Structure formats: C-alpha cells, structure tokens
Amino acid sequence: MKLIEIDGCLGEGGGQILRTALGLSCLLNKPCRIFNIRKNRPKPGLGEQHLQALNAITCLCNAHIVGGYKKSEEIEFYPTDIRNKELKINIRTAGSIGLVLQPLLIAAFKNDLKVKINGGATYGKWAPYVNYLQTVLGSLLGHIGMDIRTNIVRHGFYPKGGAKVEVFIKKANRFSGFELLDLGRLEKIHIISVASRQLEKRDVAARLVEGALSIIEKSDLPEPRIGINYIDTIGIGCGIFIYIEKENGAIGSSVPGEIRKRAEDIGREAAQILLEDYSTEGIDRYAGDQILPFLALVGGKVKISKLTGHAITNMEVIKKFLPVRFKIDDNVVSVLKE
C-alpha cells in the first residue's frame, strides 16, 4: 500500500499532526510517512510525550516503525490489525498524559481500550487535563456511543511528572452523522482545584478558586460546585479545571500552575477562557480540534466557539486519510464526503 505523505510543517505544525496521523493510520490500517516533525519548534523532532504516544499506538496495532527514536524528525509507520487492547505506558518525563492519549482515542473509535499510564503530567500547558477527556470530550463523543472513563490514582505536574492514571474507552456504536450546533440549557458548573500538599500552607488550591470566582461571579452563571484538593505528589504543582455541564454536552477549561505566576491569575485565566467559549453556545475551542477526526468518520456538523490553528491543521491531516472536505461557515464546521 502506498505511504500517505504528511509534512510536519503543515499549517501550525507541531505534535498535533503526529498524533492525528498516527491515530487515523492505526484505525484505518493506512501506512504513513511523517517528515519535518515539529520542524519549527524550539526543540524539533520527537519529544518524550510524542515518543510515548508513538510507542503506545505501535503496541496497539503491532506496527512497524522506521525512525521511532527521540529527536527524530521523520518516521514511517506501518500498522497492522488492532489486537492488543490493554496497554501499559511509561512516561519518564512530565509529558502530557492527555496528549499521549489523543491517538489512542482515535483508534478507540472501533475498539474498546484499557490503558494504564505510569509517569507524565495530568495537567500540562497547551494540553488537555486528563479528566477533561471524560467530562468534556467524552460528553460530546457520547453522541456516537463512545464513553471515556478516567481514574487518576496520582496526579503529576511539571517538571517531575510521576502521575498514575487508568483510562477506559468504549468504542462507538452509532455511525451516522451527528450535529452539535447548540449544547442546550445549562445544568451545572464545576470548579476543581488541586495542589500538592506542600502548597497547602499557602492556600494555593483555594486561591486558584478565588481567582476563578472573581470572574464567574460577574457573569450570569449560577453558583459553581467547588472541589479543593491537596494531594500527595512526586513533584510540587497545581492546576484548575472548570467545566459547564449542558443538556447536550459539556465545555471546559484547564490551566496548570506556573512558577512565578500567582494562583489567582491562573484561576482568572481559566475562567475567562471558559466564559468566552460559553458565550458562543458552541463546543469549546479545545474540543473543537479533538472532535474533528470523529466528525470526519461519521459525518455531520459542529459549532466551535473559536476555530483555532490546531483545528485548521487537523482538517488538513484528516483529508490525507479520508475522502472528505470541510466547510466552515461562522464557526460551524460541516463534513462533506468527496
């Protein structure tokens, strides 16, 4: 079979190209070559989290790889049938668990999967918080029968990682097109704040919530349900996750702690992003790019609060594997079969 050629500098470039391509290659059993991997990034090539995503998807479908090593800027990926549906993944750094899981979620479209992860970070910059996959993305993919369950045994933060996470994914059972143009009435809003136990004396988790509330209380949203947790971790860190449950799905926003960044400012940032997305009535900007492979597989249309560069890039990658094109009209993305 001819290799599908994918330029890693396509669109915004970055690891998203790799993750989407690997997921679709595995699911559809179509080999691919990805070159110029993260070429324009400060540290080009495969980083630890990219390598572990590659290793996991390789194990899933017993693929043959050319160039699968750290800092590699080109790989060839030759998948076979998906057989190993219980995976164990080790991440030696604070690489994002949410990003490592992305290609596996695509492969799980037709396969129930059980994944255990040791190492990595539950929160990451420019990466989905682990429980976002269940509460937000899972709520949207439920429209095609998929179900995502996450169990955080131990949180991990940058720079040490050290998380322990279990993920259970149920495959789709509905393959006709679906529409997500309005998520319907608001039901609940939640604020989940976590911090290492060493930060309890400084009230870091509570201050994350305080910052978020200073924004939310000025909106028309109801009083949130709040969870403040101080936890045992290998390294010191914190993060906040805010999500809104609506009738037909959820939207969310998560932000990790950063050195020399006030907890209140982190909470405000998470709340501001969420309110921007909430005002549009569409799915949030983060789910916008993650849901596109599934939308392309079944057809339909979805309203995205903010069409990011990641989403546009993802469309270009998807078109390499599937005979579809995307129509964009006022942030409504429709999939049309070629």
- φ and ψ at residue 74, rounded to 5 degrees: -150, 135
Helix (H, G, I), strand (E, B) or coil at 295: helix
**Pairwise CA distance, residues 197 & 204, whole Å:** 10
**Pairwise CA distance, residues 140 & 151, whole Å:** 19
- C-alpha angle with apex 106: 290 to 322, nearest 5 degrees? 90
Token readout for 130 is 């682990």
Q: What is the CA radius of gyration of the chain?
A: 19
Token readout for 46 is 């495969």
Cis peptide before 159 (omega within 30 of 0): yes
**Pairwise CA distance, residues 87 & 121, whole Å:** 18
Number of H helices, E strands in the chain: 10, 16
Active site residue 310: yes
- Beta bridge partners, 147, equal 170
Is residue 241 within 8 A of residue 286, CB to CB? The reply is: no
From the list 50, 143, 155, 310, the catalytic residue is: 310
**Pairwise CA distance, residues 220 & 218, whole Å:** 7
Is residue 137 within 8 A of residue 290, CB to CB? The reply is: yes
State the catalytic residues.
Answer: 310
